[in-house]
A and B are shown apart, each in its own frame.
Chain A
Amino acid sequence: DADVTQTPRNRITKTGKRIMLECSQTKGHDRMYWYRQDPGLGLRLIYYSFDVKDINKGEISDGYSVSRQAQAKFSLSLESAIPNQTALYFCATSVGQGREDTQYFGPGTRLTVL
């Protein structure tokens, strides 16, 4: 089984709908992240969480919210989806030990907002 899973893998929705993307991990990592990828722009950080009680905004958090339900689960919500939120979304985890802190990514969720 994959260490980092994301559901759904693909989602098509309409403008104005509320959408939740879920991420689960079995790596036992404390840190979790949400990124979005747009063609030609690389990955940009939306939110990150260093533990269950610690949630921080990334560089493009407007229009998004997150919930860290447990160490293993980190959900991303789009309260009212808009077409420019169409992108590939990645969840990542890391162990959180400074110099050994490599991020490992889930398979991605492709979201299309019509």
Chain B
Amino acid sequence: AQKVTQAQTEISVVEKEDVTLDCVYETRDTTYYLFWYKQPPSGELVFLIRRNSFDEQNEISGRYSWNFQKSTSSFNFTITASQVVDSAVYFCALSEDRGSTLGRLYFGRGTQLTVWP
């Protein structure tokens, strides 16, 4: 079973719209880490955020915000007032705090976001 599910394969919005990218994860560990990465059309992977399982505070960074809810095993990512430059594939990932697999990242399949002018 997939540890990280990004059910939205593709999303299209018009500039200035708000958009939320969903991420649902599965783990039996009590300590784990969640990540979001951005892959723009140029292809590189850019780290956006890491959230530790013991810190359920939501985070805001400019137009980006993240909603972490352990009760629903979700770590959703919202872009407010989207811009064309936000067009990219966004990946959610999970890392578990186990000795044998510590540090391994499990990626979702990604969500392609297209922002139209």
A residues sitting closer than 8 Å to B (CB atoms) are: 31, 33, 40-45, 48, 50, 58, 88, 90, 92, 94, 96, 98-99, 101-108, 110
A42-B91, A45-B104, A50-B103 known; A102-B109 Cβ under 8 A: no
Using CB atoms, name the residue of chain B closest to A38.
Answer: B109
- Asked if A104 contacts B52 (CB within 8 A), the reply is no
Q: Find residues 70-117 in chain B having any chain A CB closer than 8 Å to their own CB.
A: 91, 95, 97, 102-105, 107-110
Shortest Cβ distance from A95 into chain B, in angstroms?
10
**Residue among B35, B45, B108 facing the most chain A CB atoms (10 A cut-off):** B45
Residue pairs across A and B with Cβ atoms less than 8 A apart, 26 shown, are A31-B103, A40-B110, A41-B109, A42-B4, A42-B108, A42-B109, A43-B45, A43-B105, A43-B107, A45-B105, A58-B104, A90-B45, A92-B45, A94-B103, A98-B97, A98-B102, A99-B33, A99-B52, A99-B97, A101-B33, A103-B103, A103-B105, A104-B47, A105-B44, A106-B44, A107-B43
Total inter-chain residue pairs, C-beta < 8 Å = 57
- Asked if B44 contacts A107 (CB within 8 A), the reply is yes
Set of chain B residues within 8 Å of A45, measured between Cβ atoms: 104-105
- Asked if B45 contacts A102 (CB within 8 A), the reply is no
- Asked if B45 contacts A42 (CB within 8 A), the reply is no
A48-B103, A101-B103 known; A40-B95 Cβ under 8 A: no
Set of chain A residues within 8 Å of B50, measured between Cβ atoms: 102
Using CB atoms, name the residue of chain A closest to B35.
Answer: A102
Per-position contact with A for B42-69: 1 when CB-CB < 8 Å, else 0?
0111010010100000000000000000
A48-B103, A48-B104, A58-B104 known; A108-B97 Cβ under 8 A: no
